[in-house]
Amino acid sequence: MDKVFWYGALTSGTLNVAGNVNITKCECNNPYTTATLLNFTGTAAQTLTMTASYPNLPRMAINKAGGSLTWSGDFAVNSIQHTAGTVIVPANHTVTIKSNNAWGGDVSMSPGTIPFQNLTFASTGNIITTGSWSIAKDLTISHSTFSAQFTGGTFRVSGNMNINSLEGPGDTAVLLEGSANQTLTTASANARPGGTWTINKPAGTVTLASNLSLGNAGQDLMITAGTLNMAGYNLSVNDNITNSGTLRRGTSPTCGTVSSATYTGTAAICP
């Protein structure tokens, strides 16, 4: 396939592609779970080049017995399934998940080993994940209405995490990792991913830019390694906080409060 020229919606069927895909005009992000599947196959090296004024894709699957798939240009997509094959993602690249699945039901995704750079969720329903989302830079969650939530899997984030809107907690876990400093921002009225949150950093600090409430039933926070700096904001965890690293409440006299059902490990400090 050389180019797609499309202003409508790709509503059904499968496009099996063994070569390159160049999209110059495409408003083809159909909201339904029956949207066309763009399936990358074969053993040759492939490229997906997005230069569209409306860079929206339907469903995407990657199942390559050999070779690699290189992405060029930011895009939005209904869903992603990665089974096999190397995906090369350029620096500062952004993928936006735009499943309008309140109309078409829950959407199941398997991100596999895709090394996402920036990842944004802007959907209106539930995302069911098998495996982990590996995000080298920023994760942004801007879900809309209809009780949008995440179920299954883990967000592995090495950059900043911004939760602008999320209606339900679900049970997806969060792992903040990597050696760079990270900022965590959550809108006060919204839910957070409802699984266990873990901070496991060989270096660097996670700093709160807002209060953090992990309020799902049985939800835990584990600081395995590294530092969580509350920066004067409040931290509330429904179940247990386990701290084997450093938990700074802020800098005296501006220190936030810590509340949880139980707390084990190194005490929080307010130096």
- pLDDT at position 104: 45
Q: What per-residue confidence (pLDDT) applies to 5? A: 47
pLDDT at 224 over 70: yes
Count of Cβ atoms closer than 10 Å to residue 245 Cβ: 18
Q: Of the ranges 136-145, 182-191, 230-239, which is most confident?
A: 230-239
Tell whether the model's pLDDT for residue 73 goes beyond 70. Answer: yes
User: Residue 208 falls within a domain, yes or no?
Assistant: no
pLDDT reported for residue 28:
59
Strand-pair category, 46-50 with 56-72: parallel
Q: What is the average pLDDT across 112-141? A: 93
pTM: 0.92
Tell me if 53 is assigned to some domain.
yes
Give the pLDDT score at 32.
53
What is the predicted pLDDT for the residue at 35? 72
Q: Structure tokens of 183? A: 């900022």
Cβ density class 66-84: b for 16+ within 10 Å, e for less: eeebebeebbbbbbbbbee
Residue 150 phi/psi, 5-degree rounding, is: -115, 135
Residue in the block written with tokens 């196959």: 41
| 220 Cβ neighbours under 8 A, 6+ residues apart | 196, 197, 214, 237, 239, 240, 241, 242
What is the predicted pLDDT for the residue at 36? 82
61 inside domain: yes
Residue 254 CB: number of other CB atoms within 10 A? 12
Query: 51 or 189, which is more confident?
Result: 51
User: Residue 4 — very low, low, confident or very high, per pLDDT cuts 50/70/90?
Assistant: low
Q: Which of 223, 253, 244 is nearest to 235 (CA)?
A: 223
Number of structural domains, the chain?
1
Token pair 């017995």 is at which residue?
65
Q: Is residue 237 within 8 Å of 221, Cβ to Cβ?
A: yes
Distances (CA, A) of 173 to 98, 183, 219: 21, 18, 10
In a domain, 114, yes or no: yes
Tokens of 164: 């602008």
At 126, list the tokens.
């539930």
In a domain, 261, yes or no: no
User: Which amino acid makes up residue 103?
Assistant: W
d(CA 199, CA 176): 5
> 100 is in which domain, residue-wise?
3-198
pLDDT in tens, 94-104: 999 987 654 44
Q: Does 220 reside within a domain?
A: no
26 found inside a domain: yes
Q: Where residue 42 falls among pLDDT bands split at 50, 70, 90?
A: confident
With beta carbons less than 8 A apart as the criterion, state whether 57 and 80 touch: no
Distance in angstroms between the alpha carbons of the first and the last residue of the chain? 61
Residue 11 is predicted with a pLDDT of 64
Q: What is the rounded average pLDDT for all residues in the chain?
A: 88
R_g of the chain computed on alpha carbons: 20
Residue 151 domain-assigned?
yes
How many residues does the structure list for the chain?
Answer: 271
- Whether a cis peptide bond, with omega within 30° of 0, leads into 31 is no
